[in-house]
């Protein structure tokens, strides 16, 4: 049975960098307030006239494909993870297929928000191991800046999120003890309304005037934090136990970049050193489905992911959903 491994990584963020000082001009907030509660200094927001969710995914994908040392036409399946598709339907996966000039390969869209990329990686892993595909493009891409309440009333959410895309090529290998060792997926829908955007269509309800606030994301931050710091260690340990490892064996943990305080809590709980955890939320904010592939790509680019390393990816978010993947690089 072939093994699946990540053969190439790439990421892209839009050029416009928005600082906390920039946000002070738009809402009643401060750099100190944002850093203390989230750890974020800057995030990137799109120029909506020049960027799209699929388009950013394509830019990240071309880098990943180049780093995988394959040609675009070698991609035989696309998995696109996002909560901010270009259209309500069709999904953005088919737009990537068209923009990359691929043949009539399949394109699957995933709506698992912050856990989306790990869910996508899990699906790619199964397809590779069954022999169905050889090179699968897994993309996480988000444009969130255009769908938030950029005012004082929406600051608890809007200061957190950024735009960007990350991509991975998942390929088949005959090498044993290399690649994706296991993935672990969970959900608990009773908490769905703790972090959500309720409506999808810009229409009035039963003749009532359009209420834009129904389309903005809402979050019960305290409850999300409480569940995240429980589920993250659980799902990381689940992966470690499955494969006979201990937390001290992890070379690099890349958590979903939700909040620096959450990542630091996980690090303390797992008794990991600073060099065992990679965070970049300070520079990009929470890019939801794109956060793990951007972080993984950046860590690899900085020489922090090397052959033979044990890499753990872990995510928690809206749904609630949470997931982990353990990889022998």
Of 44, 67, 256, 312, the active-site residue reads 256
Secondary structure (H, E, C), 195-248: EECCCCCCCCCCCCCCCHHHHCCEECHHHHHHHHHHHHHHHHHHHHHHCCCCHH
Of 44, 81, 114, 280, the active-site residue reads 114
The conformation of residue 27, written as its DSSP 8-state character, comes to: S
* Distance from C-alpha of 77 to C-alpha of 81, rounded to nearest angstrom: 13
Active-site residue flag, 256: yes
**Count of residues in the chain:** 329
Active-site residue flag, 286: yes
Helix (H) or strand (E) holding 179: strand 179-187
- Cβ atoms 92, 86 nearer than 8 A: yes
Coil/strand/helix, residue 136: strand
Secondary structure (H, E, C), 4-26: EEEEEEEEECCCCEEEHHHHHCC
Active-site residue flag, 186: no
Q: Which residues pair with 311 in a beta bridge?
A: 252, 327
Of 20, 259, 279, 286, the active-site residue reads 286
Give the catalytic positions in this structure.
114, 256, 286
């Amino acid at each position: 049975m072939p093994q699946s491994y990540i053969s190439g990584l790439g990421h892209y963020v839009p050029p416009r960098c928005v600082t906390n000082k920039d946000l002070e001009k738009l809402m009643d907030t401060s750099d100190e307030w944002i850093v203390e509660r989230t750890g974020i200094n800057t995030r990137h927001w799109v120029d909506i006239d020049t960027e799209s969710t699929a388009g950013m995914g394509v830019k990240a994908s071309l880098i990943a494909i180049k780093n995988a040392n394959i040609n675009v036409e070698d991609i035989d399946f696309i998995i696109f993870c996002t909560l901010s598709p270009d259209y309500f339907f069709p999904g953005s996966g088919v737009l990537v297929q068209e923009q990359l000039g691929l043949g009539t390969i399949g394109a699957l869209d995933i709506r698992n928000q912050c856990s989306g990329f790990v869910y996508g990686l899990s699906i790619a892993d199964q397809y590779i191991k069954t022999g169905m595909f050889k090179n699968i493009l897994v993309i996480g891409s988000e444009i969130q800046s255009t769908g938030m309440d950029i005012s004082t009333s929406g600051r608890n959410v809007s200061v957190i999120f950024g735009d960007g895309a990350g991509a991975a090529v998942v390929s088949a290998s005959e090498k044993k003890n290399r690649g994706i060792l296991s993935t672990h997926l969970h959900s608990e829908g009773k908490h769905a309304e703790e972090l959500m955007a309720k409506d999808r269509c810009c229409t009035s309800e039963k003749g009532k005037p359009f209420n834009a606030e129904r389309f903005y994301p809402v979050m019960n931050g305290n409850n999300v934090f409480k569940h995240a710091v429980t589920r993250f260690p659980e799902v990381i340990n689940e992966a470690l136990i499955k494969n006979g490892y201990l937390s001290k064996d992890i070379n690099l943990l890349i958590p979903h970049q939700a909040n620096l305080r959450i990542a630091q809590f996980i690090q303390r709980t797992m008794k990991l050193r600073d060099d065992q955890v990679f965070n970049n939320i300070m520079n990009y904010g929470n890019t939801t489905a794109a956060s793990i592939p951007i972080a993984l790509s950046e860590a690899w680019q900085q020489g922090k992911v090397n052959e033979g390393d044990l890499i753990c990816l872990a995510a928690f978010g809206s749904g609630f959903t949470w997931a982990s993947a353990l990889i022998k690089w």
